[in-house]
């Protein structure tokens, strides 16, 4: 197992020094799911939610969150993201919304945290906008799906580390 990069030799928290790392194309994809009552999903899909297009608001919130990850997660680097995509789609079960995010850049460090933050905040935004009609919603399955670039190469969920 690799050592934790955010700890120094004394075991104290530190920001990773990426000065000597090569600038490479980097990309990460993440997902989240928010489960809800079928009536809540129908209201969202039919555009009948009193607060308007909640999917559009959640998409924008996810994009903004990716751009602000360094303000939210201690020790994350401020990154110059070149692309952030947030896709929200109704779940096949008729009672959920699936959130898929992708973040890209050319840089010295990865964008996994940005993709995960985008998915999480998009889900939280859906919860916030719909809680008046459905307090029983559940956010889950927040996970990294794929990362590309950098020293550790390409990784896909469900595969063994390189």
**Residues designated catalytic:** 128
Is-contact 28 150, C-beta < 8 A?
A: no
* Pair of tokens at residue 5: 């990069």
Alpha carbon distance 90, 88 (integer Å): 7
Q: Is 32 helix (H, G, I), strand (E, B) or coil?
A: strand
* Pair of tokens at residue 143: 């996970």
Alpha carbon distance 5, 13 (integer Å): 9
Judge whether 87 is annotated as a binding position: no
Judge whether 70 is annotated as a binding position: no
Judge whether 76 is annotated as a binding position: yes
Judge whether 130 is annotated as a binding position: no
DSSP state of 20: T
Judge whether 114 is annotated as a binding position: yes
Feature table: binding site: 75-77, 113-114
Task: Return binding residues for substrate.
Answer: 75-77, 113-114
């Amino acid at each position: 197992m690799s050592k934790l990069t955010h700890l120094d030799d004394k075991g104290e928290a530190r920001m990773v020094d990426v000065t000597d790392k090569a600038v490479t194309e980097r990309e990460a994809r993440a997902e989240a799911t928010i489960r809800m009552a079928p009536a809540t999903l129908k209201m969202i899909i039919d555009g009948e939610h009193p607060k308007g297009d909640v999917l559009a608001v959640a998409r924008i919130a996810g994009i903004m969150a990716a751009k602000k990850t360094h303000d939210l997660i201690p020790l994350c680097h401020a990154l110059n993201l070149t692309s952030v995509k947030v896709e929200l789609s109704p779940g096949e079960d008729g009672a959920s919304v699936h959130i898929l995010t992708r973040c890209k850049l050319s840089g010295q460090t990865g964008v996994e945290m940005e993709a995960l933050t985008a998915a999480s905040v998009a889900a939280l935004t859906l919860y916030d906008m719909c809680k008046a009609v459905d307090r029983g919603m559940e956010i889950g399955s927040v996970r990294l799906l794929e990362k590309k670039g950098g020293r550790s190469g390409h990784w896909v969920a469900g595969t063994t580390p390189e």
